[in-house]
Structure 1
Amino acid sequence: MALEYENGSSYANVSIQDYEIGRTIRFWLFLGLDLPSIVCSIFVLYQLLQKQVLRQALYNHSSILMLSFNLIYQLVDIPCHLKYFYTGIIRPATPIFCLIWWFIDWGFFFINVLLLLWAVIERHILFFHTTLIATWQKRLFIHYLPLAMIVLFIMVFYIIAIFVPPCQNTFDYTLDLCGMFPCYESVPIFATVEQIGFAIIAMSLIAIFSISLLMRVIWQKYQMHRQIQWRKQRRLTLNVIFISLLYLFFCFPVSTIYLVQDYSNPGFAKELEPTLFFLSYFPVFLLPFICLATIPRMWREISISLEEATNVNTDDTTFPSSLFFKPTENEPSIDLLKVSGTKDKTNLYVTSLIQLIYTMEELAASKPADTYDDDRYKLIQEAVRCKFKLTDDQLEQLFNE
């Protein structure tokens, strides 16, 4: 006897016995992964929202949105799967229940894919084009507006595609996800936008921008040796690299299969499709743990909260004993850490460094926004951090005052 998983006009058949075993395994896998993942999601979101320094950091905003949608997914979508895996039927067996389930399952998933794409692109801006976000007006258009537009666009798309589609939805209350696929999958425009735009193109761009980001960060480190931004950039780069790998590894294969099935060979990889579709849920479970491990300052803030530490020397940062600046080829190098200065009068130390590094003509001609991409300005930041053994948070607060 065979059980059919519907996917548009194509089908995959598995035996009832295999299906029952698979359903039991899926139940315990989903349950075992979802419970700790929910706890981790709540914990990470609490840290990101409760700690001002984490909440205000621009690079955390995409993570906050992704984790928020992911948590809703974990609390609403995954329990629906669990109930089906346990009972073998959909309850409540109503169209509105299935429509809401589809909306969260497909809509929230692709919201996170596009938010991840923007997060990777924005890392390039935050690292190498900081003048683009130097003012509130620029941050509004370059940072906040794209995040809002992504969420709004995906929401509107799936509200139309699922709740008011140009086709008739059918529901099978004996199959997972009420039959798995809404009718809009058979409408060319909706299927093309989702499978090519949201899936294939978006994930391909994630891979391209992630690789280029890693190469640019490594090249900058190689050129500039050590500077204040390296540790933060390393963690931020690892954050998006690991999340990108998570989605590419678990989701790109099944998206490719759907694309080939719809546009070339309807029977392509039908034996692998159920397993790959099941694995595509793993980013939902693993995303909070990657954020916990890779978001800059997260563990430091947690450590400070647990230990109520006030001694900044407990930070695991290592500080070099010298930091040289060479004005010209014919002049000797200057060890900036040997320039006199005290922590309680950091502004005087910074002024001394400015006088050593910049000429009066350069200072008169420079604009405040130009300093963000100036390597000499970053060198001054690094000197201050190393001389007074400051954490990244303390340094950022000092230079923002």
Structure 2
Amino acid sequence: MISNTVRFWLYVSLLIPSVICTLFAIIYLLINRTLRNVLTNHIIIIILSLSLISQVTYYPWMLYYYQYKGTWRRAQIFCLIWGYLDWCIYITQAILFAWATVERHILIFHDRWVSTKKKRFIIHYIPPLLILLYCFIFYFIFWFFPPCRNNFYNSDMLCLDPCITYNSTYSMYETFAHLILPALIIIVFSIALFVRVLVRKRRVHGTIEWRKHQKLAIQVLSISILYLVCLFPYALYCIMYVYKVRTKAFRDFEEYAEVLAYCMTLLLPFVCILSLPELRTKFIKILRLRCRTRRIGIETITVRPTTKN
């Protein structure tokens, strides 16, 4: 059993540095023309932007809920918006990154597919746009205009219990299409990318092309590990829920899977910065400069002796 106090301090300890890292990563990727023009960074910018939306909306709401031990009466429309943002952003990020693992193969091994503006528009820009539209419209319809009556419980953190989740067809489709399938795609295509890059290494060992491919592979593998650690347990929980597994072990597993799922968004900016050499180097320089400035400021403080009048 994970108490509200433990959850509060866990999330609050991660949220503040996570917001700082997210803002740094997004701003630097956007203002740096070289990084902004790199196609592989575009999906990262979108995913980080979604993370920022969640970090400044429902994560502070979660902290407020845990701080006041769950005694928080909320309007139904607020519960709808909270639940919609929470679940929609979570699923959208997972599907977007699943596509990112597929796209890495195209950008590394089939770069001719994006050699012209038209090809780039169709293969690179259209898929993320369709994913965003699909997820946000899909959940908007089923959360705000369900074919049944939603339940609201102010005692729960997510005070909305969407009635559509009790529909077996909907639950099975959502679980497998939005959770299991993205997880499988991430696993298969990440491993395949790693293998293909190793095979390519034998042919172009030591060249600039190999180092570039290695960097892209490390980036996607790092984020893949985070997604799998945080996404797969919750996907497994959803499967158990669909098949009506209701045991004490299931309830305990649900709590830990939920905490991991919420930690994913908070840990993602750190992994992105560490996996992108340009971001990592810039971030370290800023930290060193800040520490040096503080040290110089402390050293230049002069203490004047007090005198009696």
- Within the candidate set 265, 276, 283, 2:257 is matched to 276
**Partner letter of residue 119 of structure 1?**
A
Q: Distance in 2 between matches of 1:135 and 1:27?
A: 49
Q: Distance in 2 between matches of 1:277 and 1:202?
A: 18
- Within the candidate set 128, 136, 156, 1:175 is matched to 156
Q: Distance in 1 between matches of 2:225 and 2:287?
A: 32
- Within the candidate set 104, 118, 143, 2:99 is matched to 118
Determine if the alignment matches structure 1 residue 77 to structure 2 residue 86: no
Determine if the alignment matches structure 1 residue 184 to structure 2 residue 164: yes
**What is the CA deviation profile of residues 48-81 of structure 1, one whole-angstrom value per residue up to 9, with x for unaligned ones?**
0110111111100000000000011111011111
What is the DSSP-based 3-state SS (H/G/I as helix, E as strand, rest coil) of the residue aligned with 1:89? coil
**What is the CA deviation profile of residues 113-144 of structure 1, one whole-angstrom value per residue up to 9, with x for unaligned ones?**
01101111010001100110000000000000
Structure 1, unmatched stretches of 5+, are 1-17, 308-401
- Within the candidate set 200, 222, 240, 2:180 is matched to 200
Q: Distance in 2 between matches of 1:223 and 1:133?
A: 23
Structure 1 residue aligned with 2:79? 98
Structure 1 residue aligned with 2:142? 161
Structure 2 residue aligned with 1:39? 20
Higher relative contact order (Cα pairs below 8 Å, separated by 6+ residues): 2
Structure 1 residue aligned with 2:217? 237
Q: Distance in 1 between matches of 2:70 and 2:120?
A: 48
**Partner letter of residue 241 of structure 2?**
Q
**What is the CA deviation profile of residues 23-71 of structure 1, one whole-angstrom value per residue up to 9, with x for unaligned ones?**
0111011101001000000011110011011111110000000000001
Q: Distance in 1 between matches of 2:143 and 2:116?
A: 40
What is the DSSP-based 3-state SS (H/G/I as helix, E as strand, rest coil) of the residue aligned with 1:271? helix
Q: How many residues align?
A: 288
- Within the candidate set 124, 132, 141, 1:143 is matched to 124
Contact 1:90 1:176 in 2 (8 A): no
Q: Distance in 1 between matches of 2:167 and 2:127?
A: 28
Determine if the alignment matches structure 1 residue 293 to structure 2 residue 274: yes
Distance apart, 1:188 and its partner CA: 2.7
Contact 1:95 1:171 in 2 (8 A): yes
Q: Distance in 1 between matches of 2:253 and 2:116?
A: 50
- Within the candidate set 222, 233, 241, 1:261 is matched to 241
Q: Distance in 1 between matches of 2:60 and 2:23?
A: 17
Runs of 4+ in 1 over 4 A off after TM superposition: 300-307
- Within the candidate set 35, 38, 48, 1:67 is matched to 48
Distance apart, 1:194 and its partner CA: 1.8
Contact 2:165 2:171 in 1 (8 A): yes
Structure 2 residue aligned with 1:221? 201
Note the aligned Cα RMSD (angstroms).
2.1
Q: Distance in 2 between matches of 1:300 and 1:33?
A: 22
Q: Distance in 2 between matches of 1:302 and 1:77?
A: 27
Distance apart, 1:258 and its partner CA: 1.9
Determine if the alignment matches structure 1 residue 247 to structure 2 residue 220: no
Distance apart, 1:92 and its partner CA: 5.3
What is the DSSP-based 3-state SS (H/G/I as helix, E as strand, rest coil) of the residue aligned with 2:252? coil
Q: Distance in 2 between matches of 1:254 and 1:141?
A: 33
Q: Distance in 1 between matches of 2:287 and 2:231?
A: 37
**Partner letter of residue 214 of structure 1?**
F
**What is the CA deviation profile of residues 354-388 of structure 1, one whole-angstrom value per residue up to 9, with x for unaligned ones?**
xxxxxxxxxxxxxxxxxxxxxxxxxxxxxxxxxxx
Residues 90 and 189 of structure 1, relative CA distance in 2, 3 Å threshold: farther
Structure 2 residue aligned with 1:108? 89
Q: TM-score, normalised by structure 1?
A: 0.68
Contact 2:234 2:258 in 1 (8 A): yes
Determine if the alignment matches structure 1 residue 23 to structure 2 residue 1: no
What is the DSSP-based 3-state SS (H/G/I as helix, E as strand, rest coil) of the residue aligned with 2:223? helix
Distance apart, 1:207 and its partner CA: 0.4
Q: Distance in 1 between matches of 2:9 and 2:244?
A: 36
Contact 2:72 2:155 in 1 (8 A): no
